[in-house]
Structure 1
């Protein structure tokens, strides 16, 4: 299979996927803990997920370079 994302955009694609899955999981758990598994759960979850993904994606892009620098100093 031929890759379809150019190498210079890899960090953006990584941030997009990481923020998508992490915000999906965390918003699902938070929605469940706050409202339970009742009627409207999926709608509430998706609403919470979209708004949290809008914050998570740019946050990952900004924070990831800092985390990489810190890890390079910590890893032998």
Structure 2
């Protein structure tokens, strides 16, 4: 059986995973657009991700509940 995260940590787990994925994808795309995909691409991507993710994580923690509320108001 796989280890489970207690439900009280669901918002934290969501923010962690969402920010991780979004920062990785967006930093990868923006790095490719700005400098191309060459021999130094992975190192440049890693540096960009290292800057982006610590910013994205607290932003998702703060903004996700507000966005959920906004979506609820827009859809009901």
Runs of 4 or more off by more than 2 Å in structure 1?
Answer: none
TM-score (ref. length: structure 1): 0.92
Length, aligned pairs only = 76
Per-residue CA deviation, residues 17-73 of structure 1 (Å, 9 max, x unaligned), is 000001100000000011111121001101101110010000000001111111111
TM-score (ref. length: structure 2): 0.92
Aligned-partner Cα distance in 2 for 1:46–1:39: 13
How far has the Cα of 1:11 moved from its partner? 0.4
Structure 1 unmatched ranges of 5 or more: none
Instruction: Tell me which residue corresponds to 1:13.
Output: 13
